[in-house]
Every structure is written in C-alpha cells, then in structure tokens.
Chain A
Amino acid sequence: EVQLVESGGGLVQPGGSLRLSCAASGFTFSSYSMAWVRQAPGKGLEWVSYISSSSSTINYADSVKGRFTVSRDNAKNSLLLQMNSLRAEDTAVYYCARRRSSGFYYFDNWGQGTLVTVSS
C-alpha cells in the first residue's frame, strides 16, 4: 500500500523558515516524480513544486520561487521542502503527492498533509 506521510508543519513567524518532510513507503520511491501541493484554509488546491525521480527536473510556482527549495533523498525514501522567508499567505496545509508515472500528468497518491501557519 502506498503511504505518504508529511511532517514538519507548525507555527512560524513571518520571515521565518520551516522544513517539511514527506516519508514514502509501499512503492519504489526512486522511480517516481513527486510534488508539493498546498491548500490555504477554506481555499482551493495550489501546486507549489515538482521534482523528478532523479532530481534532474525541478519546478516551482511563481508564488514561492526563490523562497522554497524542493529536494529528495531516494536512499531514505523522503521528499523535502525547505521554506524560507515565509509570509502570511503561505499559511496552508501542505500535501506531498506522487505523480502517477512518466507520461502521466496527474497525481495518483496524496499524503494527509501538514499544516503550516505563518503568524506573529
């Protein structure tokens, strides 16, 4: 069974930093591309970042480019999101999601999310 478990969320002050992790199990992590998607309270889904299986391709939404850094450790089956210079508008539940496979442009498995609150 595919499992994605996010951690690292919490309360942080504006301008602060936070590092999110996503632990993957139940599949060959190194064969799949991954993404972070967030959802502000009461709002819709917003794609944040994407990383290919070998980390050769990395993309960011314009809203986080230059502030967030995605990475992965295939040996540890983990996906990471380093978030710097956080703003109030970054407050959201952050989901890690697995891209189905190469050639398929949708996310077939999602974690349950971790809440990030940016507030003073």
Chain B
Amino acid sequence: SYVLAQPPSVPVAPGRAATITCGGDNIGSKNVHWYQQKPGQAPVVVIYYDSERPSGIPERFSGSNSGNTATLTISRVEAGDEADYYCQVWDSSTDHWVFGGGTKLTVL
C-alpha cells in the first residue's frame, strides 16, 4: 500500500515561514491535498491539487509537489496557524485514500 511520510512536528517562530513535507514514492505523479486540523475540530482542506487554495484560505498557504516530496508552505506564520496538518492522496492502484501521519505545527 502507498505510504506518506510526514515529520511529526515543525516548530516555527511567529512571522517566519513554515515548511511541512510529505514524502512518498514518486508522489510528484499524484495529486496531493492538505488539511488543517485544530484541537477538537474536524479537518479543513487548505490546499488541493498540489497548490490550489480553496476560497477563504489565506494566500499565506501554498503548496508544491515534485519528485518524491510534496510541500506545504505557510508564510508569515501566525499563532492561529498552530494545528495538525495532514497530506492526502488517492492511490489509483488500490482505489484507497491515503493520509500522511500528520505534522504538528507549533508556533513558538
């Protein structure tokens, strides 16, 4: 089965940029989606199709995907961005929906 690897935690100072990676075998050939989940809340999609932002998501959120790594970048991080972030792909070989293990973004 397809596996997505994320770092467990990423610390960042307010105002700096945060980069969260999602590794997978030739993930650049897949479409990657990113969700934000705050404590006690349901996940919310912040990036879809590698780099598209849903309406209502700040421009500070951006994404890229190439080779074996997809990346979520949050520029000018704010305290309100502190959350868990998950990458997700659809594995066409198994018709399974796959989530990464999640990354806890900590704003210092």
Which A residues fall within an 8 A CB radius of B? 35, 37, 44-47, 50, 57, 59, 61-62, 95, 100, 104-108, 110-113
Contact = CB atoms under 8 A, between A and B. Distances in A.
5 contacts: A47-B97, A100-B48, A106-B48, A107-B43, A110-B42
Contact of A106 (B37, B88, B96, B101): B88
Contacts of A35: 97
A33 B85 CA distance: 24
Contacts, number: 57
B1 interface: yes
A47 B98 contact: yes
B42 A105 contact: no
Contacts of B99: 37, 44-47
A68 to B, nearest CB: 14
Tell me which of B31, B35, B89 has the highest count of chain A C-beta atoms within 10 A of its own C-beta: B35
Contacts of B42: 95, 110-113
Nearest to A99: B97
Contacts of A37: 97, 99
Nearest to B84: A44
Contacts of B41: 112
Contacts of B11: none
A44 B95 contact: no
B102 A45 contact: yes
B100 interface: yes
Contact of B86 (A45, A50, A57, A100): A45
